Structure formats: C-alpha cells, structure tokens
Amino acid sequence: MMAPSIAKEMQSLQEDEDIRALFDLRPKMYDQPTHHYVCVNWDKAARVKNLSYHLNFMSKQLGEKSKYAYSEEGYKLFSIEGNHGEHYDVRLCSGEWREGSLAISITNQNLQSVYSTTFCITENDDLFIGCIQGAKSSVDNRSEVIKSLTKAQHGIRPKALIVELLMMFARHYGLANAYCVSNKGHVYSASDFRSRKQRKKVMFDYDAFCTEMSGIRQNRYQFKLPLESKRRDLSSLNRTKRKMYNKRYELLEKYEEKIKASLAA
C-alpha cells in the first residue's frame, strides 16, 4: 500500500501535463515507489524523490521527445550498421520498469532490443544505471548479431557501446556524475526475490563490467563510472592496433555528433 506522503508526491507530479501524459503511457510508474527500483538500497522516500526528479528532467529537457520515448517504437536518435550492412537503430525508450525510467537501446528492424541500458536521472543531476541487458532469446541469431555489431564498431562490444552512447547523452545534458549498480545493488538481488528463477534474472556481471570500464566501487551497492572513457595512448600501439583504435575513436565522435543533433532537434 502506498504511504500518504508518497501518494501526495505522486499526485503533485501529475499537475504537470507532460508528466501526466508519461504516466498514461507507462502506468507501471505508479508502482515504482512501492517496489525495489533502480538500486536495491533505495528506500521508498529515495525512490519517489528520484522518480520525481527524473520525470521533471524528462519534461524539461526532452519535452515532446519524452512521449515518443515512452511509445511502443521509442524515439529514434540515429542508425548504425552491422558488418554485413544490416541497419540498427539507437533509440530512447522506456526500458525495464524496475531498473529505471528511461533507456537507450540498439534495436533491429523488428524493433527488438539487441542491447540496452535502463537508467534514472537522480537529484544533483546524476545518472544511475539500473540495468544493462543483451538480446533476448526471441532475437534471431543473436550471437551472430553481436559479432556483426562488434566488428562494424572496430572491436567495441555492444555492452560497452551502449554505455558509451549513454555517456554521450549524459554529457549532452551536462550531468554531474554517473553511477551503476553492482551485482549486490541490482534490484533482483533483493531478499524478497527468493526463488532461484527470479535471482537468475541477473545474468550480467555488473562488478566485472564496471571494473572494466574504470569504475570505482562506492559501496557494496554501486560503482561510480567515468563520464568520459579514457583513450589509449596510440603511440604505444603497433600499426594495426593504432589503425583500429583511430577508426574506433572517429566512429564514437561521429556517434556523439549524431546524438547531440538528434537531442537538440
């Protein structure tokens, strides 16, 4: 049952017409303050406060794009290619409802997510990642899709690419810090998800990934990630690797310009 103070805050949020429209598009948001949301150690007060901040961010910064993001198709930012010339779209979408309130997703032509990250914008203009997820079994030839995308991005794996794209989003809006849940911080690690089947939903190793991305552990529940990834010293690489990294960095710069243009439109 929702506490009166939380119910009052949720009601006041909907005084904003744009935010009320988002609740209509995604009714599950009514349940977010009363369930584990984004990070397992957030209490009810933190959940409603961060949800409120996030929705106000969407209303003020994304405007009409918010409604498209919460639509079935999401809001298309730009397209990328696989190694065989196949096209994928980078989209803003609603994401996983327990792990956040907005997502960036790479989708195929059937609008199936190949890789996505779900997040929330919290107080102090911080970004908090609650989920990083690969393709579901319903995606045809998903292992081949991952290989094709990786090769076309000059060796950037989709799980790293999706976070790179999210950090581009964060930099565009001047967000202050970026955080990500740890394995213990993921919502499905909560003690009330007692069944083995429920706990197995967390297939991604957040601890290993955050460490790989130069993240710094803040506590048992979260890592702090750099808003901009450190680039290799190309002078220390052989000719082949130097060429690959040059192409990789040029591609990321191209993607950042595309994200900026799409978000500014």
Residue at 146 is within a domain: yes
pLDDT band, very low/low/confident/very high, at 193 (cuts 50, 70, 90): low
Residue at 34 is within a domain: no
Q: Is the pLDDT of residue 73 over 70?
A: yes
pLDDT digits (tens, 9 = 90+) for 47-62: 999 999 999 999 999 9
CB 88 within 8 A of CB 76: no
Residue at 17 is within a domain: no
More confident residue, 145 or 199: 145
pLDDT of residue 137: 85
Mean pLDDT, residues 158-187: 98
The amino acid present at 105, given as its one-letter code, is: S
pTM for the model:
0.93
pLDDT band, very low/low/confident/very high, at 202 (cuts 50, 70, 90): low
pLDDT of residue 79: 98
Q: Is the pLDDT of residue 203 over 80?
A: no
CB 113 within 8 A of CB 121: no
Residue at 8 is within a domain: no
For residue 106, give every residue at least 6 positions away whose Cβ sits within 8 Å of its Cβ, in sequence order, or none: 80, 88, 89, 90, 91, 113, 114, 115, 116, 149, 158, 161, 162
Total domain count, the chain: 1
Residue of 227, 202, 197, 195 whose CA lies nearest to 214: 227
Q: What is the CATH number of the domain that holds 105?
A: 3.40.630.30
Residue at 182 is within a domain: yes
pLDDT band, very low/low/confident/very high, at 186 (cuts 50, 70, 90): very high
Q: Is the pLDDT of residue 145 over 60?
A: yes
Query: 85: domain range?
Result: 68-264
Spatial distance between the Cα atoms of 265 and 252, rounded to a whole number of angstroms: 20
pLDDT digits (tens, 9 = 90+) for 102-121: 999 999 999 999 999 999 99
Q: Is the pLDDT of residue 235 over 90?
A: no
Spatial distance between the Cα atoms of 113 and 212, rounded to a whole number of angstroms: 23
Residue at 4 is within a domain: no
Residue at 7 is within a domain: no
Residue at 59 is within a domain: no
Mean pLDDT, residues 56-76: 96
More confident residue, 227 or 14: 227
